[in-house]
Amino acid sequence: MTFDSQCDLAALVYDPGDDPDALLHGFAADLNARGTRTVGLVQFAHRVADVPQLSATLLHSGEQLPLYQNLGSQASGCRLDPGQLLAAGGRVGTAIGQGADLVIINRFGQQESEGRGLLHLIVQALSADIPLVIAVPNKRFDAWIRFADGMSVRLPCERRALEAWWSNLSPRGRGSAPNAHTTVCEVYK
């Protein structure tokens, strides 16, 4: 399968040991500091009273929102609260509606691979012709490609790859002359 490096939709594919959260958060902070309106959310794990917690940072406001459900200190399952994830997604959707240059979605996780979670934000961003990057675990990349119908670029979990992808797209976001090259993704939009 061929991937177009100028495709508006990018999967930042990571393996165990990679830190896509820090990478995406730093990338968004740098873009926002340069005047790019980056909208989305990035999760982070932390501990409160020795209990693992999961929260997310809204990239457009810096606000931190809890995404965890308290399952007790002995629980070992996923602590993600789907209701809180959807509420955070609603805030991101509102921000997308107010305009964005780039949307970042933290994960194509189990919720998304099962057709739930934040998939609606991907559709919203692409329908508004806003580029989007999402972290995708290597083990779920096949499910991602099925969802994206092959219309995605695969990026390694490296800052230079993310920067290179964005630099191919960003002139359009800054109001420069349109690129004469029509991408495969543009044809099928």
Predicted local distance difference test score (pLDDT) of residue 72: 54
Q: Is residue 4 a contact partner of residue 183, using CB atoms and an 8 Å limit? A: yes
Per-residue pLDDT of the chain (189 residues; tens, 9 = 90+): 334 456 899 999 999 999 999 999 999 999 999 999 999 999 876 555 565 567 888 999 998 888 876 555 555 555 667 778 888 889 999 999 999 999 999 888 777 877 777 888 999 998 999 999 999 999 999 999 998 888 899 999 999 999 999 998 865 444 333 344 344 344 444
Which is nearest to 99 in space by CA: 171, 187, 53, 39? 39
Q: For residue 86, give both structure tokens.
A: 């959807």
Q: Which domain holds residue 91?
A: 9-187
- Alpha-carbon span 167 to 157, nearest angstrom: 16
3 belongs to a structural domain: no
- What is the DSSP code (8-state) at residue 91? H
What CATH number does residue 158 fall under?
3.40.50.300
33 belongs to a structural domain: yes
Edge-to-edge strands, sheet with 132-137: 64-66, 51-58, 38-48, 102-105, 132-137, 9-14, 153-156
Predicted local distance difference test score (pLDDT) of residue 137: 95
- State which amino acid sits at residue 128: A
Predicted local distance difference test score (pLDDT) of residue 159: 97
Specify the pTM: 0.80
> E strands within 110-163?
132-137, 153-156
Predicted local distance difference test score (pLDDT) of residue 1: 31
Predicted local distance difference test score (pLDDT) of residue 20: 95
Predicted local distance difference test score (pLDDT) of residue 83: 78
1 belongs to a structural domain: no
The three-point CA angle 176-180-186 to 5° equals 95
2 belongs to a structural domain: no
Q: How many domains does the chain have?
A: 1
4 belongs to a structural domain: no
